[in-house]
Structure formats: structure tokens, C-alpha cells
Amino acid sequence: MSSIFSARGLTFAYPGRGHVLDKVNFDLAAGERVGLIGPNGAGKTTFFLLACGIIKPLAGELQIAGQPVVPGQFYPEVGMVFQHTADQLICPSVREDIAFGPQNMGLPQEEVARRVEEAARITGIEGLLERPPHRLSGGEQRLVALAGVLAMEPRLLILDEPTSDLDLRYRRRLINLLAAMPEKAMLIASHDLEFILEVCTRVVLLEGGRFQADGSPDAVMSDGSLMEKHGLEVPHSLTGTWHRHRGPAPGRRDLPG
């Protein structure tokens, strides 16, 4: 399976802090859905910002579809929905917000309009197109931000804490929406581990600047000792299944610290 995204020797630090990421290696295959878990401050959002070329690594290299990621350049192949989606919505209307990305890609007006309508249809927000984004609910804003990303037709979709402001109805709607896009590669960071279980096919655990474990969601997140060591809890739906297992569970690979 071909790689859509890769990192080699990725290193990053903020001023006055140690390495947030320290010589990280990572590969994401086309169509793969990877959940990125770890305690607060582990570097999950930093990893995403590096992947998008928003910030520059201290060392190492990143590639999208075999092409180097150059910090500061626009990469429509990668679409990121930020944790605080209200900060991502900047236009007077939902329609204009969704059109913003395709317009910056230099697409013809007819193609921009087509993509706006298609993204609105996929996310089920056709009725919101003329509304001001700042007057929408948190769940509606998240769907608008996602539609704006999908309108660029990215090959890699990045979601940072996608359920943080969603009620149960919008959370389920998001799960169903993502399940309907099996061809899309995804990187998802979330403390909602039940969400990760439902959506992702693979989980990596980040702490101390390194990936500490990499494997299937069940195998990684059912290991009670592993989760506790890194400040996490076994998801409720997995308790009683693997959480007493003290060694590497089937389908999980522990990584060197």
C-alpha cells in the first residue's frame, strides 16, 4: 500500500522547552485512519502543524504523496480541521467559507461552486450556506469547517479533537460522515477514545517526543498498564477485555522510547 504521508527524523522544540518531537519516524498509507493519542502537551497538535507546513521542524523531513513539505507553502492535498473551529471560520457566510480553499487553489468559478455544493451535501449543511458562521452552534461550525476542508478534495484529512464541542447527536453524525469516506487517509487526535475506536484502524501513542506504541486500536488501548503509564485510561467498552494484559497485546508494537 502506497504512503500518502511520511516523516523521517522529525524534530521540533518550542523556545525554553525540551524537544516536543525527537527524531520521529512515521508512515501513513493511503486510506489508512490513524488515531493519535497521548496526554495533554504530548505534541499531537504540533505534529499536525508540521504535517501541514504551518511550522518548520528543527530537523528531519516530511513528505506528502512523495513530495517534500516546504513550510509556508499551501498544500491542498492536506486538509486540517482545528480544535477550535470558530477560529477557522473567517468569512461572512458559510458559502464563502467553504469556497475559500478552492478559490485559493485557483480553480474556475464554476468548479468552486460545484465543490461548495458537493461539500455541503456530504456534510448535510445545505440549509446553512447563507448563514453567518459565528451564529451557528458548535456542532454546525465543526461541520462547516469540515466542509471547507473537503471542498479542497484533500488526500489526507487531519482532525484535531473533532468531538470536543459536540453533543451526542453531532458526534454520531460525524462518525457516520467519516465512515462514509473509506478512501480518505486520516490523522485524528482525540481524548475521546471511544470515538477513536469507532473511526480509526490504527493507533499511535505519543509522549516524551516519541511514539511509544503503534498498533490496532483494540490492542493499544486495551492494555491497562500501557495506558496508565502514559496518563490515559482504557476506554470503557474495552474494560474486562485486554486491560489486565501486561505484555504487548496481539496487533500492537511497542516502540523504543
Which whole number is the average pLDDT over 158-175? 92
pLDDT, tens digit, for every residue of 178-204? Answer: 999 988 999 999 999 999 999 999 999
- Angle between the N-to-C axes of helices 109-123 and 94-104, in degrees from 0 to 180, rounded to the nearest 10: 130
Higher pLDDT, 166 or 206: 206
Q: Is the model's pLDDT at 243 over the cut of 50?
A: no
Which whole number is the average pLDDT over 223-248? 77
Q: Are 43 and 55 in contact (CB under 8 A)?
A: no
pLDDT, tens digit, for every residue of 14-69? Answer: 988 878 999 999 999 999 999 999 999 999 999 999 999 999 999 999 999 889 99
pLDDT, tens digit, for every residue of 206-224? Answer: 999 999 999 999 999 999 9
pLDDT, tens digit, for every residue of 66-81? Answer: 899 999 888 899 999 9
What is the grid cell recorded at 126? 445545505
Predicted TM-score of the model (pTM): 0.89
Q: Which helix (H) or strand (E) holds 157?
A: strand 156-160
Cα separations in angstroms, 121 against 81, 126, 144, 151, 227: 18, 6, 11, 11, 39
Domains of the chain (ranges plus CATH)?
A: 3-77+155-254 (3.40.50.300), 86-153 (no CATH)
Q: Are 211 and 56 in contact (CB under 8 A)?
A: no
